Structure 1
Amino acid sequence: MKKSLKKRFLHFDDIDEEIFDTKIYRYISYDEFREKLRKRRARFTNPAVWSAHDPYENVLFSIPCRQKGNSEKLSLNNLTRHFYAQCWTLSRESDLMWQVYNARYASNGGAIKIQTTIGLLLESQSHDFMYLGKVKYLTKSDFISAYRIFTKGISKHLVEDAGSGRVVAERLCYKRYPYRAEKEVRLILSDFVARAQNPIPEHIFRKFDVNKVVQRIVFDPRMDPAEYQNKKRILIKKGFENSIIQSSLYSVNEADFILK
């Protein structure tokens, strides 16, 4: 199974058998996780939605393509209509991520961090097309160059792709250099049923066995201990069976500083 997954779906610079044990993390709202537990499903988002947080997301496909000497504009939006993704990170702990996602999910119970491995995540989804790749962080000038190179040779790229979807998926893993601290990994799926809808849905949902995939839940290091214990009890009562902890990012253990 792992050999098949590696061959078909993994797109990293260096791939070996140990990559399946690599831990990855995802920040989601507490309310969304409760929904995962209740409905046993995971949410994937269409790339067009990402631009609400970064206008350069999906920009390779959202800006109409125009060939030199030809005034006619060609929209590339259709190329991403059937793609949906989840964003994860390789960063085990990050003050920046806690601040960003707690602000974003303030009205949804705050942010929590879930942990799994690359192997568990891939094995949780059964799909004809999946792409798991590390995000490439580009300078603004490199980003623009990538757009020009891609659009200039769009026909050639699509012929070489032969309908596999990889050409588009690879370019959905481009972000600007200032975002490099995210150390992001993206799981991308295709859904042609969603593509046929008008308008296309912003999200799709896939079966997701939380207790088989999520190894650990981590709560915000700033959360009041009483609130943490209360929410922990709720998740256990709702059926979560694995580890639940509170981040110790801001905890100082004086014993660590005793001279030996």
Structure 2
Amino acid sequence: MTRTASDFPNDAIIRISNLDVPIYRIFPVWHLEEAVRLRRAVLVPPRRWDDPFEVVGNAISVDCQDGPEIINQSLPQAYAQCWSLTEESDTLLRAYSRVVKDALFGRNTSPRDEGVRVRSTPRKLLGALKRGTPVGLTGEWFLGAVKYVGRTELLQELANAIGAHGKRVFYYPANHAKLLLLKRSAFSHEAEVRAIFVQHDTDQDHDLLSIPLDPNEVFDEITFDPRLQTSERKEREAVLRSLGYSGSFGESELYHRTLLQVVVSSPPKE
């Protein structure tokens, strides 16, 4: 029987109360074009991320009565894709999208480094990922909001989990997913939401996890970098149409120049 988005187990959704809230992801433009052309989503192992605390579960030293012991070095592989609850952010846009304008024509000289924002919902995203899971790949899907904590609190959360469930606590997929939803407070501006797949089989280890997915069913809107000229944006839209995208395009006003008009009730004083 085909499962639907309403079939999510109780522990599959973590710290998200509304499955239809908008979520956003800034893709490299070439990555999005490939996702539309190939109709697939790509998830990566957390070990590829820069933050060293993202992979803390792969090597935790636990002080036992007979001395320290390293745990979690052979966890089943996990894969994730990061989204955000933040609709518009100058910080996120500049972190994931590069626009360097030509002095004469004003066009972007680094189009390959552009980012493009996609809007979806937790329900659509997780439902599509679950339906697209390849036959023979066993594991569990999760989608949750990242919890931002200080370094000391993060370590305390790990200690509490190990104390409550034992040294194999993170071999349980739900606990492994919760570990991947802890992040230090310095990153809190990201307001991150993560789709996570935790494998059951410890013998399978892929560099990437590719899941069949129809962008027209999952993406509610696509918005290009607002620093682009209108002609550039139209060119990008035409490319995605030619690759099969039939959904909506948005337009950000983040950098639109505006004439500020102020109404006062009496003449200003000299």
TM over 0.5: yes
Question: Which residue number corresponds to residue 34 of structure 1?
Answer: 33
Identify if the C-alpha distance between structure 1 residues 226 and 77 changes in structure 2 by more than 3 Å, giving closer, same or farther: farther
CA distance in 2, matches of 1:108, 1:190: 31
Deviation, structure 1 residue 191: 3.3
Per-residue deviation, residues 84-123 of structure 1 (Å, max 9, x unmatched): 111110001000000101259x674411111011111122
Name structure 1 gaps, 5 residues minimum.
none
CA-CA distance at 1:139 after TM superposition: 0.8
> Partners of 2:194 and 2:220 in 1: how far apart?
19
Aligned to 1:131: 142
Pair 1:8–1:64, CA change in 2 (3 A): closer
Aligned partner of 2:136 in structure 1 is none
CA-CA distance at 1:148 after TM superposition: 3.0
Other-structure match for 2:85: 90
Specify whether residues 153 and 183 from structure 1 end up closer, same or farther in structure 2 by C-alpha distance, changes over 3 A only. Answer: same
Aligned match of 1:111 = 115
- What letter corresponds to residue 55 of structure 1 in structure 2? P
1:228 and 1:246 in contact (8 A); partners too: no
Q: Deviations over 1:183-213 (max 9, x none)?
A: 11111112346x424xx33311001101110
Residues 147 and 108 of structure 1, relative CA distance in 2, 3 Å threshold: farther
- Aligned residue for 2:33, secondary structure, equals helix
In 1, are the aligned partners of 2:71 and 2:167 still within 8 Å (CA)?
no
Give, in angstroms, the shift of residue 3 of structure 1.
4.2
Contact map agreement 1:150 1:157 (CA 8 A) in 2 = no
Post-superposition shift, 1:37?
A: 1.2
2-structure distance, mates of 1:100, 1:248: 18
1:8-31: CA deviations, max 9, x gaps?
521226x3xxx1221000111001
Identity in percent: 25
Greater CA deviation, 3-12 or 170-179?
A: 3-12
Secondary structure of the residue aligned to 2:223 is: strand
Whole-Å separation in 2 of the counterparts to 1:73 and 1:156: 9
State the number of aligned residues.
244
Corresponding position of 1:178: 186
Contiguous gaps of at least 5 residues in structure 2: 100-109, 134-138, 265-270
Q: State the alpha-carbon separation in 2 of the partners of residues 244 and 12 from structure 1.
A: 29
1:120 is aligned to 124
The 1:5–1:91 alpha-carbon spacing in structure 2 relative to 1, beyond 3 Å, is same
**Contact map agreement 2:5 2:124 (CA 8 A) in 1:** no
Give the conservation status (yes or no) of the 8 Å contact 2:28–2:112: yes
Q: 1:6 offset after TM fit, Å?
A: 6.2
What is the match of residue 10 of structure 1?
13
CA contact (8 A) 2:61 2:71 kept: yes
- Which residue in the other structure is 1:73 paired with? 69
Structure 1 counterpart of 2:106: none
Indicate the residue corresponding to 1:242 in structure 2: 247
TM-score by length of 2: 0.80
Q: Is 2:43–2:208's contact at 8 Å kept on the other side of the alignment?
A: yes
1:66 counterpart SS class: strand
- Identify which of 220, 228, 236 aligns with 1:223: 228
CA distance in 1 between partners of 2:37 and 2:73 (Å): 34
